[in-house]
Structure 1
Amino acid sequence: GGSRRGWRRRRRRRPRRGRAGRAAAAWRGGARRGGGRPPRPAPPPPASRPPPPHAALPPQALTFTGKCRLRCLYGAVRLLGFAVASHQPGLPVFSPATHCALSLEALPAERPPRGLRAALSPLAEARVKVMARFSPECAVVLLEHLDTPVTRFLLSHPPLSRLFEPQEESSFTPEDAVLASVGIVKCSSERGLLVSESMLVALEELIQACCAEDEGVPVVLVCGPKNTGKSTFNRYLINLLLNRLPSIEYMECDIGQTEFTPPGCVSLSNVTEPILGPPFTHQQMPCKMVYYGQTSCEQDTERYLDVVKYVFSSYKKEVPLVINTMGWVKGEGLLLLIDIIRLLSPSHIVQMDVYDWKAMAPLTPEYVHLSPGLYTKGKQQAKCKQVGASEVENWRSSEGEGDASAPEYKLLYVHPEFPRAGIAGEARVHSSILRDMSILGYLGQLQSPDIGAVLPLHSLVPYQVPFSAVALRVIHSDVAPTNIMYAVNASWVGLCRIPDEIKCESEGPVLLTQTPVCDCLGFGIVRGVEMERKLYHILTPVPPENLRQVNCLLLGNISIPNCILVGQQGVEGEIPYVTSDYNYSILGSGKLKKKKHFKRREYAFECDYA
């Protein structure tokens, strides 16, 4: 769709790394204890025989904040449910202060430590002293300093510069100094993941169902109010399943707090690697993604259901599927959740719920069968809610009929026991900050993989896209065609593909009258609009082979993080796109809201000049 120029990467030589920035530690398998090197056992009485080493060493674990690269040299360790063995390559581990701290636990060894000398070859100078402390139940890990383009980019913004630093002062010991040299700090085990008894029971049952060969492929739907640990539960479950299965499918239906994409998306991802960090550390391209364009679906629940159905149609039912849902479970949110259950037909529902929380009823099969949804009816309902789109009729469950049977799934209750569970207003970090971090993590892919100075976004060369090559649509509000370019300039846009061919007799811009449900191939920033040459200047990490398929730009209610605009390094004078002189009383300066549940027409093309 037209010529594209630009996109240059500055390459720097990767410096050689020596043995600095490494630390080794050994832990006994078993229950948790304070992290670090085991204490030297007291000398035995002269007349008694020395006890075996493993009898003198208590079980240990390490709860920490920071980031590092983890490699298990001997034995096995467990991190957020994933078992790391000695044959696996080094894994990046991220434990920022914004999330619960990760805990490294040793798993019992199944054989005596033969060949331990070869496993400790990276630590040859300290091998003799270290080997004297090992027992058959020890696990030996190598921790190395970790530096990635994403973390460098995030830490370059002042509000996030202390992202991986502890929130409280800790006692400085030699062990702390060793851990600090690789970028982590030991903290109290209370800051780690608190696994409740109900969570353990649910995990065991789900693992057994997903690994059973004589049953169908399970579909696990996780639901519950805000701040009850749904995302953490999903990561823990996926990591446990990856210990036994090569891959897991994950469907993201929570457009406000997404796992593998920037916010505002419904997506289906194939997960093959463990999740050892928050969303901003593992942004990736899903198998299927639709850009909804908002962090809440209250404004247009009908289109949200259309999007969920479209993404779910790509699921091949070959591997287990984990589905994450929104924390909106009151009023219409609960009715919408019932519609989603009928649409996706899960085999297991995990309901995260705190004690004495009365706003969400137990989602038993009988309750879902009898209760009306937002667009579907229950067994005893005479009439369902009327909608304009014919798509809803296609996926409407048979439960809307009077003689339909109840859905078949197993309900598992999980009661989180971490502090302030279920109180969204007292979450560790505000949800808007987490969304900004996901966007920054996505934009961090623009940085060079070589270690060096962070390149500000305004120094990168954007793509030039003609107006006539892509269609344009503002999702969340109605914008007059004469003002469309003011809205698009300096905005976050979804780079999408629609099946229709872009045809326009003029030079554009090409405007869509309705929002399409289409594939999203990535995201970018419109960093400039050149009206004279009819060009968009778009900055994006999407590879050129995928950009050739993009023929639609969707502008939603997802904004660029403020720290990118106000913290532009190297800019002299006034900062572009930033002003303190703004009159909110000007007509049109506020956001326009759509009326919900209006009948939608098929989208069409419309050519006009801005």
Structure 2
Amino acid sequence: MAARRGSPSCSPRRAASREGSAGSRPAMGPPPEAGLAAVETAEGGAVLLLAPQQALSFTGKCRLRCLYGAVRLLGFAVAPHQPALPVFSPATHCALTLEALPAARPPAADLRQLRAAARAAMRAHRVRRQARVKAMARFSPECAVVLLEHLDTPLTRFLLSYPLMSRVFKPQGKEQPGFTAEDAVLAAVGVVACSPGCGLLLSESTCLALEELLRASCAEDEGVPLILVCGPKNTGKSTFSRYLINLLLNHLPSVEYMECDIGQAEFTPPGCVSLSTVTEPILGPPFTHQQTPRKMVYYGQTSCEQDTERYLDVMKYVFSSYKKEVPLVVNTMGWVKGEGLLLLIDIIRLLSPSHIVQMDVYDWKAMAPLTPEYVHLAPGLYTKGRQQAKHVGTSGAESWKSAEGEGDASAPEHKLLYVHPEFPRAGVAGEARVHSGILRDMSILGYLGQLQSPDVGAVLPLNSLVPYQVPFSAVALRVVHTDVAPTNIMYAVNASWVGLCTIPEDVRSQGDGPVLLTQTPLCDCLGFGIVRGVEMEKKLYHVLTPVPPESLRQVNCLLLGNIAIPICVLVDQQGVEGEIPYVTSDYNYSILGSGKLKKKHFKRRKYDYT
């Protein structure tokens, strides 16, 4: 999609009160009792008419195109000159809200011309005459006209083929009473309207922060901002980042995004630190937009508590690719207690952000305001504050603290933007909408969905796809999260999720066995795969991956981390008869590194998001 300079500007402050304005009567608009206007098209789509600032919160998936006026979706303003956008609003996440942007009242002389333009746009997209007449009967020159179409992608077909995921795009809870004809039209497209409370609620502090960041990003004489988003778990850091990126894309051709949350990554499977260039709006959760970042390192775990030094080294390595030409949004982990807060101080000193967005709940006492003075004085995990002693312990982090002058707080001061989320149970990680492990599984499934054919057709089970054959001598192996005896390494690698990486050293085999690394390399990760099998006689790994062949030629290292293949991939594959491969009750649990799944683990994790 081309850059969107000149797209309608959007004021995030209005989104905070959109529910209150949804039913109000604007000038020349439909009366309050008219409700939502949805008209079926000839192709099974729906034409939606929204009065100024009227909104629709919904669950489902569709392809969205603005025919007339302008609408906003998760901060992104959609105008008629833009192509259709895929939109995903699953039951596992906060419902998306489509809102008509305010429009100036046109002169009376232009009304006929505007009505003709709206009719022509509907005619161009094959809206049948009867539907056009019905829509124009409720048309207002100040409203927005949107075309919603059924969306079917290889990803969604693959994801929904698993029984545990089959209701991902179904509405939460009970069906709403009073099912109307408009509801039936939307349901035929794949969209179900829900109450405004299910949509994103932007607090006043959130709107103020978004306005400030938008101003800083569009100012031409202040340099590009580096925005770090932090806070405890379940406070909406990822959602805030998506909204901010979409808001910036209304005015900028691209935004850089650095993912430091290895537990819940935005564009990659879990366990990665990455840097991505974002040019398209983010209109769905992570599993709907898995892609290859510009720079990525596979850390191999969903928490860095056991090896914070390597985590910081990985962060510095990825951050070194940022060229400071466009704004950078940095998402951080929700670990902000104890050593997690000390590590966050180190991260701030490493990145030197211009703005820190601190997500916080009012009764949260474990995290002090990260003012410039506090960051200067507070001790980090590997760096010291201004008033601390000169002694610094030896660690792998010493190589990156030179910018701080041995920990002295000499970096430019940042601007702190305090955000108080106001959605229910904010900050209560144990009461999140969906278990974090399920979201990680969905991201992996979203990545594996790239293996499906782009043509519309039946889902291809993973066990039916032909894997690559990789000689032992062509790649080096390393288990990053634990020590594994060389005699057990094949037990660990078989049926495992691996990072496909490239190291500068030549891989040299010392014999007939696999090439084993003694240390975890700091290297680029080009993608991921599943080791479907190990053929000992021919010395081959069988690897299933969506990474293209031109990139696979650079892969000479397989990193095995503590990220497991989703259980449903093992037990719910279509076309498997008899005993399921790799699933057995007779297992040696003393073997380390193999990503074993005990029987109780199958029962504990429930995919209940309704």
The two structures have a TM-score, normalised by structure 2, of: 0.87
Q: Secondary structure at the match of 2:182?
A: helix
Which of 137, 141, 148 matches 1:136?
A: 141
Q: Which residue pairs with 1:573 in the alignment?
A: 578
Per the TM alignment, residue 433 of structure 1 is displaced from its structure 2 partner at its CA by: 0.4
Q: Encode CA deviations 1:198-229: one digit per residue, 9 max, x unaligned.
A: 00000000000000001111000000000000
Quick one: distance in 1 between partners of 2:407 and 2:348?
16
**Structure 1 unaligned blocks of 5 or more:** 1-28, 44-55, 593-610
Deviation at 1:406, TM superposition (A): 6.4
Kindly tell me the number of residue pairs found equivalent between the two proteins: 549
Q: Distance in 2 between matches of 1:589 and 1:264?
A: 15
Q: 1:452 aligns with which of 454, 457, 460?
A: 457
What pairs with 1:208-607 in structure 2 (closer than 5 Å)? Answer: 208-389=215-396, 392-398=398-404, 400=406, 405=410, 407-582=412-587, 584=589, 586=590
Q: Does 1:117 align with 2:119?
A: yes
Between the aligned partners of 2:99 and 2:592, the Cα distance in structure 1 is 57
Closer/same/farther in 2, CA of residues 557 and 131 from structure 1, 3 Å limit: same
Measure how far apart 1:39 and its partner are: 5.9
CA offset digits 1:386-437 (Å, max 9, x no partner): 1333x523434436466x5464110000000000000000000010000000
Contact (CA 8 Å) 2:339, 2:381: kept in 1 or not? yes
* Residue 89 (1) aligns with residue 94 (2): no
CA distance in structure 2 between the aligned counterparts of 1:580 and 1:35, rounded to whole angstroms: 58
Shift in Å, 1:31:
3.8
Tell me if structure 1 keeps the 8 A contact 2:488–2:591. no
| Cα distance in 2 for residues equivalent to 1:394 and 1:58 | 52
Distance 2:33 2:212 in 1: 44
SS at match of 1:70: strand
CA distance in 2, matches of 1:120, 1:425: 47
Unpaired runs of at least 5, structure 2: 1-14, 35-49, 597-610
Percent pairwise identity: 79
State the alpha-carbon separation in 2 of the partners of residues 255 and 480 from structure 1: 27
* Aligned partners of 1:258 and 1:265 also within 8 Å: yes
Q: 2-side partners of 1:359 and 1:568: how far apart?
A: 45
Query: Do the aligned partners of 2:562 and 2:595 also contact (CA within 8 Å) in 1?
Result: no
CA change 1:522–1:35 in 2 (3 A) is farther
CA distance in 1 between counterparts of 2:200 and 2:411 reads 36
* 8 Å Cα contact 1:224-1:327 kept in structure 2: yes
Q: Residue 170 in 1 paired to residue 170 in 2?
A: no
Distance 2:593 2:518 in 1: 22
Query: Structure 1 counterpart of 2:449, which letter?
Result: G
Specify the alignment match of 2:42 in structure 1: none
Q: In the alignment, residue 76 of structure 1 is paired with which amino acid? A: A
- Closer/same/farther in 2, CA of residues 31 and 398 from structure 1, 3 Å limit: closer
Aligned-pair distance for 1:581?
3.6
Check 1:135–1:591 CA distance in 2 against 1; reply closer, same or farther (3 A cut).
Answer: closer
Which 10-residue stretch deviates more, 372-381 or 575-584? 575-584
Shift of 1:508: 3.5
Whichever residue aligns with residue 326 of structure 2, its letter is V
Aligned to 1:77: 71
Q: CA deviation at 1:383?
A: 3.6
The equivalent residue for 2:9 is none
For the 8 Å contact 1:377–1:399, the answer to whether it is kept is: no
Match status 1:150 vs 2:155:
yes
Contact persistence 1:76–1:86 (CA under 8 A) = yes
Evaluate the alpha carbon distance shift between residue 94 and residue 221 of structure 1 in structure 2; reply closer, same or farther with a 3 A threshold: same
Is the contact between residue 379 and residue 400 of structure 1 (CA under 8 Å) also seen in structure 2? Answer: no
Name whichever of 433-442 and 495-504 sits farther off: 495-504
For 1:61, give the aligned amino acid: A
CA displacement, residues 94-152 of structure 1 (integer Å, 9 cap, x when unaligned):
00011000000001235552522211102132222321221121110000000111111
The change in CA–CA distance for 1:454 and 1:467 in structure 2 (over 3 A counts) is same
Contact 1:210/1:218, CA 8 A, preserved across alignment: yes
Distance 1:550 1:136 in 2: 57
CA distance in 1, matches of 2:51, 2:490: 68
